[in-house]
Structure 1
């Protein structure tokens, strides 16, 4: 029987504890030890957060997004490493090159995740399992890293499956097993249902995916709008999104969380100059020009604001980033101390070959 679009087989690959695993690969002496990647804990007074950590560190209760100071209190003997994004991006490129060749359609969604559509060439799950095992084997052989893969009828189920039994596992959900797999799970396992949505669902008596799936969809729409319908469909294992390559960069940005809150206008200007320089380097490397400059401001009490300004014409001018960012910052000066500042550019346009060549000299 011909394989229809609803019967496609989709794989979701998720690298295991990616940042820390790459660090351990480069430093074999750290294997088997708790490793935390983030910022300097400064003996428990550091102000950053955990980017990721090894599974050994997770045994102490450490997890991504946790304040680095709390992680240090949980395990002061862990090895704490600063984020080395260039190292991780280089590793990611090699990994994606390794797995891309197995796909009929391929979609990288983050530095350590990708969807693989094999529906054109494979229509049975036995063959799909063999292919997934081959991919895992090749990633381990060529990149010396482990990954977990979910095999399922669509993207959302494959993503949930890849995270179901980490690390270094393969989880298969056949069409006839979708409800038995999804319904017992907590609603937080559905992508998009986060800390704001969960309490509202709990108030409605909904904690499990099965409860969400059987809930009156009109009640969900009344409470959540269009997202209510989306949640209901995902809870029932319905996801019609296709796997497709993403080649559009929508924004380039960077930010800095200060060890000590800053107030002095000269320090603020110096910070924006450094942030603008980083954004400009990335902009030129990726061969884009921009029209809109954005800033992000976080006060010491965690109040957070963004502002943006669109220029008359697209440009690659580094000074335009800096000057616009400083101008946007003026309304916040004198209103408190700042914990974080960020700069970004949006409304990007790809440079043509001649512009790309000239931009290398800017």
Structure 2
């Protein structure tokens, strides 16, 4: 594992995720103030487009108040299953860059790219490549921060939204953090911000200059943690799930297709990638999953369960092709296709991979 002093961490945050998905899927909403949430009086805003934010509308705001701020507001119902599917599509893209991913929500995650990027500049290029791939494949924008730890990367990602990229070298961390308002600090809400201001602390630099014992007396253990963060000291690892629930790969076509030959060839290639990852993780699964996204961004999946777990690419490919025959892929244009394996036996990660009949 890379030591904290040598880490290159990316925090990637999708821009106004739910609202941006709706504007992508419904072109007539682009450029208009859009919020996602219920339409009842007691509903709250789940997400607001950047056009809506110009009116002061924010997430968690009561919907009736948002309407007062912007009479022309467009309200769209939540589609959580759809957002989860888009999030999985983004996660699959990021998985091509590194497997060291810690999801925070559907729209944000940490990535430790230390093994793939020897310098912060290289990490920045990798983050830009992630953003470019997401824009090309999913037609959404993301903002990213790159730094020596999670705290710095997360703060950096928020500074140039939307579609931003901010790099913070280790030797510039203190200067980067110092002028930022204390409200940018982890754990500082409105109440804590007022308490800090009453103590004469209004910036992260002020937190760094404060007596840590005094901060602890004021805010409890959280005060000590804030003082450490204000000095750019964050020892937390990027937390990757130890036990995978599924292993999958997917790809987006340059042009939507109904060509079953093309789709079968792509499924075979994806099955090989999935099998390689299963072997690396010493996993074998019983459930084969086919994922499709059609031209209108409607998602569909088909699955089958085998009698015994497998990690063989030919078995995975054959089953995926059979599942393709149970879909509308031959008549409806497909923009994305994916293959996954799940249903791992308990303790499978500790067992040797099960080889196919023709493995040497």
- TM-score range with shorter-chain normalisation? 0.5 to 0.7
* Whole-Å separation in 1 of the counterparts to 2:9 and 2:239: 12
Q: 1:227 — aligned with what?
A: 222
What is the CA-CA distance between 1:122 and the residue it aligns to? 1.6
Map 1:1-362 onto structure 2 (within 5 A): 4-40=3-39, 46-103=41-98, 105-246=100-241
Q: 1:320 — aligned with what?
A: none
What is the CA-CA distance between 1:228 and the residue it aligns to? 1.0
Deviations 1:105-125 (A, max 9, x none): 111111101111011232212
Q: Is the 8 A contact 1:35 1:56 kept in 2?
A: yes
TM-score (norm 1): 0.65
What is the CA-CA distance between 1:192 and the residue it aligns to? 1.5
Q: Which runs of 5+ in 1 are unaligned?
A: 249-350, 355-362
Paired residues, what number? 247
What is the CA-CA distance between 1:104 and the residue it aligns to? 5.0
What is the CA-CA distance between 1:150 and the residue it aligns to? 0.2
* Whole-Å separation in 2 of the counterparts to 1:172 and 1:126: 8
What is the CA-CA distance between 1:246 and the residue it aligns to? 3.8
* Whole-Å separation in 2 of the counterparts to 1:138 and 1:244: 24
* Whole-Å separation in 2 of the counterparts to 1:247 and 1:125: 27
**Residue 146 to residue 65, structure 1, CA distance change in 2 (3 Å):** same
What is the CA-CA distance between 1:77 and the residue it aligns to? 0.8
What is the CA-CA distance between 1:101 and the residue it aligns to? 1.9
* Whole-Å separation in 2 of the counterparts to 1:31 and 1:98: 25
* Whole-Å separation in 2 of the counterparts to 1:3 and 1:69: 49
**Residue 246 to residue 189, structure 1, CA distance change in 2 (3 Å):** farther
**Residue 154 to residue 223, structure 1, CA distance change in 2 (3 Å):** same
What is the CA-CA distance between 1:195 and the residue it aligns to? 2.2
What is the CA-CA distance between 1:158 and the residue it aligns to? 0.2
TM-score (norm 2): 0.66
Q: Is the 8 A contact 2:4 2:149 kept in 1?
A: no
Give SS of 2:45's match: coil
* Whole-Å separation in 1 of the counterparts to 2:8 and 2:91: 19
Give SS of 2:222's match: helix
What is the CA-CA distance between 1:47 and the residue it aligns to? 1.4
Give SS of 1:13's match: strand
Q: Is the 8 A contact 1:8 1:123 kept in 2?
A: no
* Whole-Å separation in 2 of the counterparts to 1:48 and 1:3: 45
* Whole-Å separation in 1 of the counterparts to 2:35 and 2:229: 33
What is the CA-CA distance between 1:353 and the residue it aligns to? 6.2
Q: 1:340 — aligned with what?
A: none
Q: Is the 8 A contact 2:186 2:226 kept in 1?
A: no
* Whole-Å separation in 2 of the counterparts to 1:156 and 1:191: 8
* Whole-Å separation in 2 of the counterparts to 1:216 and 1:104: 39
* Larger deviation, residues 238-247 vs 170-179: 238-247
What is the CA-CA distance between 1:194 and the residue it aligns to? 1.3
* Whole-Å separation in 2 of the counterparts to 1:35 and 1:20: 6
